Amino acid sequence: RSRFVKRDEAGFSNELSESQKQAAQLEPQIEQLYQLLLLGEADRSVEKSQRWQAGYDLALGRVLATKVRTETYNAMLAVAKRGIKLKDPKSNTFTLVPADIVSVGSQYKKGAEKAKELLQRVIDQHEGTPWAYLAKKELATPIGWEWKESYTDLSPPPRPGAGNGGNPPAAQNDAANMIKKPPPKRRPPKL
């Protein structure tokens, strides 16, 4: 989720927390995959097959880019929960949009730089291959995030046909909807 409307402080904080939970569920899985791929980094220079080198660099670069995107998304939400400085006092809607800037932590900046370096290496060393194509596509997606402010009108929209004070219109054929009269009751016999 990337769009958050600030109706009140508590509701805004709850929306941010719910989105953080979703990102937090992904982080351990991505971290596990990243750690698994890091085990092969020492043997990458020993590998003679360029196909395997390209595949490894692409996989590690993509996983690292995803890791940084997910962690910076979570960090940006955490920063917003502590308070966002408004550029326009009328703003009440905040949209998290992809950006090439990583503005929340130096470890994320280093991770983003390493991911870009790995993907660029695939493009440079394996030009014209499917790996280079996938690396270009991955680099085309920004790794960081930034907040964009806007205004959302929170007043309820007028209802069509509400000129009658909000009352429902009169029924066309009320006789069809009427309840039938019950049969006449018999008097109980005297004993």
Task: Tell me which residues of the chain have a pLDDT lower than 70.
Answer: 156-171, 175
Q: Quote the CA–CA distance of 33 and 4 in Å, as a whole number.
A: 30
Q: Which domain holds residue 91?
A: 3-150
Is residue 102 in some structural domain? Answer: yes
Q: Is residue 173 part of a domain?
A: no
In a domain, residue 35? The reply is: yes
The model carries a pTM of 0.75
Inside any domain, residue 47? yes
Say if 66 falls within a structural domain: yes
Number of domains in the chain: 1
C-alpha distances (whole Å) from 154 to each of 7, 8, 17, 96, 160 are 8, 11, 22, 20, 18
- pLDDT in the model for residue 150: 82
Query: Which residues, other chains included, contact 60 with Cβ-Cβ below 8 Å and sequence gap of 6+?
Result: 34, 37, 38, 41, 118
The reply to whether 159 falls in a domain is no
Element (H, E) at 99: strand 93-99
pLDDT for position 7: 81
- Residue 189 within a domain: no
Kindly state the tokens that stand for 131: 């790996």
87 domain-assigned: yes
